[in-house]
């Protein structure tokens, strides 16, 4: 449009330059209404207005160009035909001139009319974009500039944009400057730093104004978006997190959740957590959720190892700004440790003679817990002679409460129990094994108070006769028992020649055969001694009783054994039935049944004439003796003891039925029926001659000593004295200990069973009175005397043997 106008105007000027007579130039403001008088044309032309119409004055345009002015023929004025818009016509050109031709006819005249159109402030400044947006980082520094789009105004000159103004705000100001083309433009200048966190965005109204009168203005809105800068560090909700936690809390338990906030947005505000300054230990025990900040238990918490944990937690935003807070976790104790018992010293074994109160062991108890959980109570069981004595802190000494006896209780299991004060309490126990050491405090003790041993006579040497046992409850050598015999004498021989004892087993053995007939019992002392140092001992009496064996055959004292006796009993012819004729006297050195003798007639001249008392040995006539009976009667008598097997002896008794000693010579025949050899006869002669001297000497002595005594009797009346020497040597030795023996009636030892008074002395002899001994002596003497008389009467040498017995006192001669 502008360009066309320019071309048109140039062409118009070229064409009308030469024919123009006078140019008319007028100025007209734009936007005037129709009929606005531009100028007085007629006057300017100098012609009467009325003539204008006649001359058909008119304004011509070239081509079809628009005609903005016309001529009011009636007034002769040039007036606005159509409202002119300068901006439309000339745009931003400074001068806006429209040329027309004024054509007059009659005569034809052409005048150039130049119409300068004046600008009127009829347009507001305006911005092409009414909304101007900026994104500015909050980190932008003061003074930073942000050029603004220029405002436009269709008007020109003063009516064009003259300046800008900005709504008042605290961050920005405007800087206005002139452009190269003369326009004005503005720049937004940051006056104060932005803070997204305070104000995320803002709208500022920018006003552009022109210089018209009145001025006009146009506005635009500047929208500033503040872009985030990571200018905020994460901030924890608390600077220090403190929490207490019981030990042994299960894994996975939440301890605490930390939280930190970051005012920035997006990644700048995304907080992640991390534990820092963490010991390796606590790193295993706690774990932190990076995102949620939750701290959980991931390991075993042991109060006894760590009482509290201190760590730092770090919060980090996306770009890496960090802040940290402290976490303190106090661990509280739980009674999870049982007390521990430690044996510090032990005095084992302890001698049994230790005094009450002796210290045996030192015990220490410990508990790793704290507070009440640590208070430990310690005790032992009741049934032992020990007690615990509290000593300094947590130490106890175990002492004895009485003396000990190893033989009663050789070891102890002492259970020490420790209980703490927790709830529930925990306890533990320990067994102390304590041995009691031996002291040689017990002598050996025999199982019996005394021992009695029975042994058969004629035993083999080495026979065990008894065994003693002593017990010693002490230990090892202190309880090892050794046996020995206490040295003593038996029949003036050392005891060791009779008995020996096995020192280990206590078996007592006979060393030699015993002879009941020599001694029947004896006592020995056995000592049991232990092997301690010093040794302890005790002793016991062993009574040894020798039992009789039937080893002695009956000894016939009267008459002398068969074939050796020349003795003949005189039987009165007038002897009646039942009268005592003679009596066999026999003894047996054995005792009891072995000495219980019985008599039997085994052969007799006239079997019906005599009988013998089975046990008395008294020979009696069985019937009255008659004239027809043979004068010489011969009896063979067997004497048998009651032993097993029985032993026996026989003898012959020669009876002469006669009242008259004159018939005696026949004796010789009778007795020499079995005549001895001449050798025997000479031997007897020799013996008699030696003995005669000896006997004469004795007779002399006896005659002097006993001249006053009564005459001895003959033995026919049956009163037989038994010489004491014939009695077994031990008849009178009766030991009180042997009950069996004491019950025996010593009468039974007597072989005859006779009630004749002369036997009584034997019974009284048992009483061992002094008078009895005297009697014995008398008896001996009587017998001796009696025998001598017999010898004298018979004159036979055989009687000598009998006489020797009482003198020598020995059967062997």
Ligand X SMILES: *[C@@H]1O[C@H](CO)[C@@H](O)[C@H](O)[C@H]1NC(C)=O
The CB density around residue 276, as the number of other CB atoms within 10 Å, is 11
Q: Does residue 486 bind ligand X (CB under 6 A)?
A: yes
- Least Å from the CB of residue 176 to ligand X: 49
Q: CA 398 to CA 382: how far, in whole Å?
A: 13
- Least Å from the CB of residue 350 to ligand X: 12
Q: Does residue 531 bind ligand X (CB under 6 A)?
A: no
β-bridge partners, 433: 413
- Region binding ligand X by CB under 6 A among candidate stretches 44-52, 67-75, 335-343, 738-746: 67-75
**Member of 439, 455, 544, 546 binding ligand X (CB under 6 A):** 439
362 Cβ partners below 8 Å, 6+ apart?
A: 343, 344, 345, 391, 395, 396, 397, 398
Q: Does residue 476 bind ligand X (CB under 6 A)?
A: yes
Look-up: residue for tokens 């079995």? 674
**Member of 25, 27, 53, 74 binding ligand X (CB under 6 A):** 74
User: Between 12 and 386, whose beta carbon lies closer to ligand X?
Assistant: 386
- Do 537 and 446 contact (CB within 8 A), yes or no? no
User: Between 537 and 652, whose beta carbon lies closer to ligand X?
Assistant: 537
User: Between 284 and 433, whose beta carbon lies closer to ligand X?
Assistant: 433
Q: Does residue 413 bind ligand X (CB under 6 A)?
A: yes
**Member of 408, 423, 492, 757 binding ligand X (CB under 6 A):** 408
Long-range contacts of residues 32-36, Cβ cutoff 8 Å, at least 24 apart: 32/80, 32/83, 32/84, 33/80, 33/83, 34/79, 34/80, 34/81, 34/82, 34/83, 35/72, 35/79, 35/80, 36/79, 36/80
Indicate the DSSP class of residue 806.
Answer: H
Q: Does residue 767 bind ligand X (CB under 6 A)?
A: no
Distance of CA 205 to the CA centre of its chain: 92
- Region binding ligand X by CB under 6 A among candidate stretches 68-76, 392-400, 755-763, 798-806: 68-76
Q: Does residue 532 bind ligand X (CB under 6 A)?
A: yes
User: Between 287 and 531, whose beta carbon lies closer to ligand X?
Assistant: 531
- Least Å from the CB of residue 524 to ligand X: 11
Burial-class residue 567 by CB neighbours within 10 Å (0-12, 13-18, 19+).
Answer: buried
User: Between 478 and 553, whose beta carbon lies closer to ligand X?
Assistant: 478
User: Between 306 and 348, whose beta carbon lies closer to ligand X?
Assistant: 348
User: Between 79 and 455, whose beta carbon lies closer to ligand X?
Assistant: 79
β-bridge partners, 204: 222
Q: Does residue 352 bind ligand X (CB under 6 A)?
A: no
- Least Å from the CB of residue 48 to ligand X: 15
Q: CA 170 to CA 279: how far, in whole Å?
A: 51
**Member of 478, 604, 638, 751 binding ligand X (CB under 6 A):** 478
User: Between 33 and 168, whose beta carbon lies closer to ligand X?
Assistant: 33
Give, as ranges, the residues between 218 and 277 that touch ligand X (CB under 6 A).
none
Interaction mask 487-526, ligand X, x per CB under 6 A: --------------------------------------x-
Q: Where are the alpha helices (DSSP H) in 156-297?
A: 280-285
Q: Does residue 541 bind ligand X (CB under 6 A)?
A: no
Question: Closest Cα to residue 521, out of 451, 581, 464?
Answer: 451
User: Between 525 and 756, whose beta carbon lies closer to ligand X?
Assistant: 525
**Member of 61, 75, 294, 370 binding ligand X (CB under 6 A):** 75
Question: Closest Cα to residue 312, out of 301, 298, 323?
Answer: 323
Q: Does residue 440 bind ligand X (CB under 6 A)?
A: yes
The CA-based dihedral angle spanning residues 651, 744, 742, 590, taken in that order and rounded to the nearest 10 degrees = 30
User: Between 269 and 349, whose beta carbon lies closer to ligand X?
Assistant: 349
Q: Residue 613: helix, strand or coil by DSSP? A: coil
Q: Does residue 475 bind ligand X (CB under 6 A)?
A: yes
Indicate the DSSP class of residue 157.
Answer: G
Q: Residue 11: helix, strand or coil by DSSP? A: helix
Residues found near ligand X in the complex (CB under 6 A) = 72, 74-75, 405, 408-409, 411-413, 433, 438-440, 475-478, 486, 525, 527, 532, 539
């Amino acid at each position: 449009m502008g360009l066309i106008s320019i071309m048109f105007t140039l062409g118009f000027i070229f064409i009308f330059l030469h024919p123009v007579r006078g140019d008319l130039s007028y100025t007209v403001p734009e936007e005037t209404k129709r009929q606005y008088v531009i100028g007085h044309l007629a006057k300017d032309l100098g012609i009467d207005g009325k003539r204008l119409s006649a001359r058909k004055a008119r304004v011509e345009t070239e081509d079809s160009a628009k005609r903005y002015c016309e001529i009011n023929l009636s007034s002769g004025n040039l007036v606005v035909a159509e409202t002119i818009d300068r901006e439309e016509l000339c745009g931003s050109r400074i001068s806006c001139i429209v040329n027309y031709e004024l054509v007059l006819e009659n005569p034809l005249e052409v005048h150039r009319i130049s119409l300068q159109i004046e600008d009127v402030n009829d347009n507001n400044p305006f911005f092409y974009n009414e909304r101007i947006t900026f994104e500015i980082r909050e980190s932008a520094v003061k003074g930073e500039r942000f050029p603004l789009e220029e405002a436009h105004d269709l008007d020109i000159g003063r009516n064009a944009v003259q300046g800008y103004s900005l709504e008042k705000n605290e961050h920005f100001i405007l800087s206005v400057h002139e452009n190269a083309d003369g326009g004005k433009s503005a720049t937004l200048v940051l006056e104060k730093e932005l803070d997204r966190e305070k104000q995320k965005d803002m709208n500022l109204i920018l006003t552009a104004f022109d210089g018209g009168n009145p001025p006009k203005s146009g506005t635009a809105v500047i929208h500033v978006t503040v872009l985030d800068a990571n200018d905020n560090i994460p901030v924890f909700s608390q600077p220090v997190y403190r929490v207490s936690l019981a030990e042994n809390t299960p894994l996975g338990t939440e301890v605490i959740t930390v939280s930190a906030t970051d005012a920035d947005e997006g990644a700048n505000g995304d907080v992640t957590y991390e534990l820092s300054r963490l010991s390796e230990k606590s790193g295993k025990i706690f774990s932190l959720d990076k995102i949620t900040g939750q701290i959980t238990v991931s390991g075993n918490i042991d109060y006894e190892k760590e009482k509290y944990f201190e760590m730092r937690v770090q919060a980090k935003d996306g770009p890496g700004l960090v802040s940290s807070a402290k976490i303190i976790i106090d661990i509280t104790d739980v009674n999870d440790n049982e007390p521990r018992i430690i044996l510090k010293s032990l005095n084992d074994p302890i001698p049994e003679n230790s005094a009450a109160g002796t210290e045996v062991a030192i015990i220490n108890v410990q508990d790793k817990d704290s507070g009440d959980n640590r208070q430990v109570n310690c005790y032992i069981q009741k049934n032992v002679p020990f007690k615990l004595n509290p000593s300094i802190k947590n130490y106890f000494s175990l002492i004895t409460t009485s003396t000990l006896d190893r033989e009663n209780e050789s070891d102890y299991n002492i259970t020490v129990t420790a209980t703490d004060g927790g709830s529930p309490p925990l306890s533990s126990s320990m067994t102390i094994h304590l041995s009691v050491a031996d002291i040689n405090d017990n002598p050996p003790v025999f199982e019996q108070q005394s021992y009695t041993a029975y042994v058969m006579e004629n035993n083999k040497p080495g026979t065990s006769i008894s065994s003693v046992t002593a017990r010693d409850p002490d230990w090892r050598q202190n309880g090892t028992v050794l046996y020995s015999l206490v040295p003593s004498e038996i029949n003036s021989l050392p005891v060791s020649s009779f008995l020996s004892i096995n020192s280990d087993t206590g078996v007592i053995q006979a060393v030699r055969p015993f002879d009941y007939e020599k001694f029947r019992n004896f006592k020995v002392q056995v000592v049991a001694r232990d092997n301690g140092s010093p040794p302890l001992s005790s002793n016991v009496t062993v009574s040894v009783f020798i039992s009789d064996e039937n080893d002695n055959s009956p000894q016939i004292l009267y008459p002398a054994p068969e074939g050796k006796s020349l003795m003949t009993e005189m039987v009165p012819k007038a002897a009646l039935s039942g009268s005592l004729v003679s009596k066999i006297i026999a003894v047996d050195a054995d005792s009891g049944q072995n000495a219980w003798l019985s008599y039997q007639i085994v052969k007799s001249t006239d079997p019906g004439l005599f009988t013998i008392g089975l046990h008395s040995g008294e020979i009696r006539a069985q019937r009255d003796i008659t004239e027809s009976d043979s004068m010489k009667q011969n009896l063979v008598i067997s004497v048998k003891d009651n032993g097993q097997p029985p032993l026996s002896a026989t003898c012959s008794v020669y009876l002469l039925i006669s009242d008259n000693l004159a018939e005696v010579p026949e004796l010789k025949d009778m007795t020499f029926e079995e005549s001895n050899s001449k050798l025997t006869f000479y031997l007897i002669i020799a013996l008699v001659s030696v003995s005669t001297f000896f006997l004469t000497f004795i007779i002399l002595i006896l005659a002097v000593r006993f001249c006053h005594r009564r005459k001895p009797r003959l033995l026919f009346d049956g009163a037989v004295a038994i010489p004491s020497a014939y009695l077994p040597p031990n008849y009178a030795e009766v030991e009180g200990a042997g009950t069996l023996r004491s019950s025996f009636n010593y009468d039974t030892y007597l072989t005859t069973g006779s009630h004749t008074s002369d036997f009584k002395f034997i019974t009284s002899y048992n009483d061992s009175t002094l008078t009895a001994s005297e009697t014995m002596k008398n008896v001996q003497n009587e017998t001796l005397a009696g025998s001598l008389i017999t010898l004298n009467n018979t004159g036979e040498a055989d009687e000598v043997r009998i006489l020797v017995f009482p003198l020598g006192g020995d059967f062997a001669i």
